[in-house]
Amino acid sequence: MIRINHLTDIDTIPAERLQALLGSAEQYLQTPKTCPTFPNAQMATLFYENSTRTRLSFQLASQRLNMPSLALDSHYSSVQKGESIEDTAANLVAMGINILVIRHPDSDAPQRLLDVVGKQAAIINAGSGTASHPTQALLDVLTILQHKRSLEALTIAIIGDILHSRVARSQIVLLHKLGVQSIRLIAPNALLPAEVASLPVDVYTDMTKGLQQTDVAICLRIQKERMPPSLFPDVQAYREQFGLTPEKCQLLKPDAIIMHPGPMNRGVEIDSAVADGAQSVILEQARNGVALRMAVLASAAEHLH
């Protein structure tokens, strides 16, 4: 039996396959005109949460691979009549869809699809609850590797709302798996997850200490939609302590790069002067997202029955 190449989280994927996806994405960037085509693959995107970058980059990626695709619009679909994601997926697979890309507020949504249709279709996680966003973590590493020769010796700081960040969770697992020795989390105690002590990270609640000698600073969006107002009472106080301002950037290594998965709260976790400044690679992350998702879709399509 052929094994289907799912991508539901980083934990379950061997480092060699993750490296292969990064290499394949870099190839798509270097030689965009030599793409394979996959007319037998049929992708559907199922986005139950809002998205700009991830949703459109999966659509662009499928177009560039000549892979037929369609998008379920959850506002106008039978989701509104109460249909479960399992029933939705089973019906799409019955119609011939064999790659399902899902974004959902439930952390276990990709696994639930895997349980129901995982033998017939590749399941790709485009962001699940607060648990996992594997393609974002991969495109972030792709971007870092374009600026830094190797990962192992880097000091990488992830800053801000770690508690609600599926991006941070996937980044930590991926960076650790790929050999990064120094991963720092910089956040107020209230925005750190309970499991932080068991993670392979160093924790800083003082940003001026955490940023020193850092090669890569990754700012995270404050996810107000996932927290009670009491958890985030004062925007200005947050910006002063944990926002990346031009002054705080002076603490980084001179050749440090600055990242943000988007969307950004300008003037909260990152100032515009930093987001649009010379060290920012934020739009490169968006560009790399298309190539990385091409690699993920191609890898899934190559292993379909």
Footprint of ligand CP (CB under 6 A): 51-55, 127, 136, 261-263
Which is nearer to ligand CP, 127 or 129 (by Cβ)? Answer: 127
Which is nearer to ligand CP, 8 or 117 (by Cβ)? Answer: 8
| 45 three-state secondary structure | strand
80 phi and psi angles, rounded to 5 deg: -70, -15
Number of Cβ atoms within 10 Å of the Cβ of 53: 17
100 phi and psi angles, rounded to 5 deg: -115, 120
In the complex, what is the shortest distance from the CB of residue 41 to ligand CP, in angstroms, rounded to a whole number?
22
**What sign does the CA torsion over 129, 134, 140, 143 have?**
negative
Which is nearer to ligand CP, 57 or 155 (by Cβ)? Answer: 57
What crossing angle do the helices spanning 53-64 and 282-302 adopt, rounded to 10°?
50
In the complex, what is the shortest distance from the CB of residue 29 to ligand CP, in angstroms, rounded to a whole number?
19
Which is nearer to ligand CP, 52 or 181 (by Cβ)? Answer: 52
Which is nearer to ligand CP, 51 or 279 (by Cβ)? Answer: 51
Between CA 230 and CA 295 the distance in angstroms is: 42
**Single-letter code of the amino acid located at 107:** S
In the complex, what is the shortest distance from the CB of residue 52 to ligand CP, in angstroms, rounded to a whole number?
4
In the complex, what is the shortest distance from the CB of residue 219 to ligand CP, in angstroms, rounded to a whole number?
12
In the complex, what is the shortest distance from the CB of residue 241 to ligand CP, in angstroms, rounded to a whole number?
24
**Single-letter code of the amino acid located at 126:** A
End-to-end Cα, the chain, rounded Å: 9
| 5 three-state secondary structure | coil
